[in-house]
Amino acid sequence: MRYRPLALAAVLVLSLCSGGAVTATAAEPTTDTAAEGNATLVEAYPNPVADGDRGEFVTVRFDYPANTTGWTLGDGTTSVRLPNRTFRGPVVFSSTPRAARNHTETRVVELDSRLRLANGGEQLALRADEATVDTARYRGAPESRIRLFRTGTWRPVGATDIDPISARESEVTAFTLPDSPKQVVETLRGADDRLLLGGYTLTSERVTDVLVDAHERGVTVRVLLDGSPVGGMSERQAEQLTRLSEAGVDVRLLDGPHVRYAHHHPKYAVVDDRALVLTENFKPAGTGGMSSRGWGVVLSDAELAAALADLHAADRTWRAATPWSTYRRGRDFVAADPAVGDFETRHHPKQVTADAATLLVAPDNAASAVKRRIDRAETRLLVQQVEIDSRENRLLRAALRAAERGVRVRIQLSSSWYVKEDNAALVEWLNRRADAEGWDLDARVDDPDGYGKIHTKGVIVDDTAILGSLNWGRTALTENREVAVALEGEGVADYYAGVFDDDWSGSNRRKTPAGLFAVAAVAIAGALLFARRIQFRGRDGVVTDWQW
Q: Which residues contact 238 (CB under 8 A, 6 or more apart)?
A: 328, 333
Q: DSSP secondary-structure letter at 264?
A: B
**What ranges make up the beta strands (E) of 423-504?**
441-445, 453-454, 458-461, 464-468, 482-488
C-alpha distances in Å from residue 10, one per residue of 23, 34, 89, 107, 249: 22, 21, 8, 12, 40
pLDDT score for 512: 39
C-alpha distances in Å from residue 281, one per residue of 98, 184, 294, 443, 517: 40, 11, 10, 26, 30
Q: What is the pLDDT of residues 413-445, one digit of tens each?
A: 999 999 999 999 999 999 999 999 999 999 999
Q: Do domains 6-10+34-156 and 165-541 have the same CATH topology?
A: no
Spatial contact of 467 and 343, defined as CB atoms under 8 Å apart: no
> HSE on the CB side for 274, CA within 13 Å?
18
Amino acid at 224: L
Q: Which residues contact 339 (CB under 8 A, 6 or more apart)?
A: 283, 284, 285, 288, 290, 291, 452
- Name the residue ranges covered by the structural domains of the chain: 6-10+34-156, 165-541
Please state, in angstroms and rounded to a whole number, the distance separating the CA atoms of residues 331 and 227: 12
Most distant pair of Cα atoms in the chain: their distance: 89
pLDDT score for 15: 40
Please state, in angstroms and rounded to a whole number, the distance separating the CA atoms of residues 452 and 417: 12
Residue 277 clears pLDDT 90, i.e. is over it: yes
CATH 3.40.50.410 fits 165-541, yes or no: no
Phi, psi of 455 (to 5 degrees): -130, 10
State the pairing for strand pair 79-81/71-74.
antiparallel
Q: How confident is the model at residue 36 (pLDDT cuts 50, 70, 90)?
A: low
Please state, in angstroms and rounded to a whole number, the distance separating the CA atoms of residues 174 and 305: 16
Residue 20 clears pLDDT 50, i.e. is over it: no
Q: pTM of the prediction?
A: 0.81
Rounded to an integer, the average pLDDT of 522-537 is 40
Q: What is the pLDDT of residues 207-253, one digit of tens each?
A: 999 999 999 999 999 999 999 999 999 999 999 999 999 999 999 99
Task: Tell which residue, 40, 125, 44, has the closest CA to residue 87.
Answer: 40
Please report which helix (H) or strand (E) contains residue 171, including its range.
strand 165-177
Please state, in angstroms and rounded to a whole number, the distance separating the CA atoms of residues 94 and 111: 6
Q: What is the pLDDT of residues 190-210, one digit of tens each?
A: 999 999 999 999 999 999 999
Task: Say which CATH class 6-10+34-156 falls into.
Answer: mainly beta
Q: How confident is the model at residue 114 (pLDDT cuts 50, 70, 90)?
A: confident
